[in-house]
Amino acid sequence: MHEARRLTDESQRLQRRQAQLETQWGQLLLEHSTWGSYARVESLAREKLGMKVPTTDERVLTRP
């Protein structure tokens, strides 16, 4: 009987840990998509690198 109780407790502990890890995984996925979003990359390019969208006169078209 003691072993069954111990195993039940361990199972419940592991299920709680699994739920915590699933929550953390979801948060990490959200953070990953945020860091790689186009708007974030554009914002960093403007702020950190001083880049801007070129005007029509500054654009150069190339053909393959």
Give the number of domains in the chain: 1
Domain-located, residue 16? yes
Residue tagged 């009987």 (tokens): 1
Backbone angles phi, psi at 52, to 5 degrees: -150, 165
Q: Please give the Cα distance from 7 to 13 (Å, whole number).
A: 10
Q: Please give the Cα distance from 20 to 26 (Å, whole number).
A: 10
At residue 8, what is the residue type?
T
pLDDT of residue 33: 87
CB–CB of 40/34 below 8 Å? yes
Domain-located, residue 58? no
Over residues 6-37, the pLDDT tens digits come to 999 999 999 999 999 999 999 999 998 888 88
Domain-located, residue 55? no
Q: Categorize the per-residue pLDDT at 40 as very low, low, confident or very high, splitting at 50, 70 and 90.
A: confident
User: Which residue range is the domain that position 26 belongs to?
Assistant: 2-48
Q: Can you give the C-alpha Rg of the chain in angstroms?
A: 25
Higher pLDDT, 47 or 33: 47
